[in-house]
Structure 1
């Protein structure tokens, strides 16, 4: 069932073929409000998708990498990442391409100046401080999802250091691109970043280190 013109996500009941040059980004509303219920629903959504991409067979049990990133030992070609915000779940899936996805609700309350000063690069903290007050929190959350997506693609988690991945920001708070990156994470030119706004009130980012790919945005059919 195709989506309407205002919705960039295509609504489908099952995954389309996953090409070598594609990344599938799925969004799903769990209709749950309790965090534990959302986490359980997110796990169920991920398992359903992995089963579908495995051809209907139940894939081997997931394991966690050294820094907690899940993977399927028996299907090394199947790369995926998961995030949830409020009642919504986002899953990114690709062939042979590590990737990271992060989404956040815009109404999440954050002590922006304190967190940025403690955990972000000096230039990022200064750029956020210059943004007018009503735009500062949305700008922070967009920046946060970009940082998280890169960290998750690396597979190192927050232990890598948020300040070691630095982005340039516009005066309005738009993320302009990777500005500086720790040497072991490669050159900023090697990274692909795709901002996401899957539903009103939720922002996010998809990131991977590698050549450009076609990003297909998908939503579960009711």
Structure 2
């Protein structure tokens, strides 16, 4: 999932990750591009590349504030990322096959997810998400990957408990928007957009998780 970094930016990313998880920064502390540029004596594009990948891996928020200094939290984020990595792998396999594919399963599950959100039925909503993921994983021909949906489901259940009043009016519809965008892009064979949507969806979930 993480963007391929240049060698220099990758080294800086690793150093910043180590510092964050070793509590050299406070939670909610903002890390700026100027700080990285000065500390590592690199140009702003390198610094920005590092910041964007710290955001993508969940260590920083969109505003470049530290989400967590906890190894346990970071491991959990990494497990969530595995769910999205598997979805990206499914998109990659579809792209490699370069043959027409049927997406009726995705469209049917998306309809069920929308109905569940409208009816505020958490069990049906979760089941729809699991089935949608299963439909995607079929394209990888690796059914064992279906188990990794657990981490996203755990996140959604946690968010529902923490946001009972707004889960179905806000969070659930955010999920639907991303899945709708993914489905539309797949139907149009716009694979680059699929990968972009999945990256955004992952980062969105991490931001929700640490703002819960």
TM-score, with length taken from structure 2: 0.29
Q: Comparing both structures, which one devotes a greater share of its residues to helix?
A: 2
Of structures 1 and 2, the one with the larger relative CO (CA 8 A, separation 6+) is 1
Pick the structure with greater CA Rg: 2
